[in-house]
Amino acid sequence: MPQTPEQLARIKIDRLLEQAGWIVQDYRSMNISAGPGVAVREFPLNTGFADYMLYADAQAIGVVEAKPE
């Protein structure tokens, strides 16, 4: 099955985050203490889901939303 533009964007974002030194994890198996920078995929929020919640030293610092190119 072909991937959607958003799925392709997430694959690219995963790769870019990892190249920048982030540890990319799924929400269900997240460990925000796994390293100095952790990006958690599909993070639940009150208004829906963030594509990525970013943690630095176990503190939430930002959100990344995947958009198709």
User: With bands split at pLDDT 50, 70 and 90, how would you rate the model's confidence at 6?
Assistant: confident
Domain boundaries, the chain: 5-64
**Using only C-alpha atoms, what is the Rg of the chain?**
12
The per-residue pLDDT for range 56-68, each reduced to its tens digit, is: 999 999 999 887 7
pLDDT in tens, 34-61: 999 999 999 999 999 999 999 999 999 9
Print the SS3 string covering 24-64.
EEEHHHCCCCCCCEEEEEEEEECCEEEEEEEEECCEEEEEE
Give the separation between CA 47 and CA 19, rounded to whole angstroms. 30
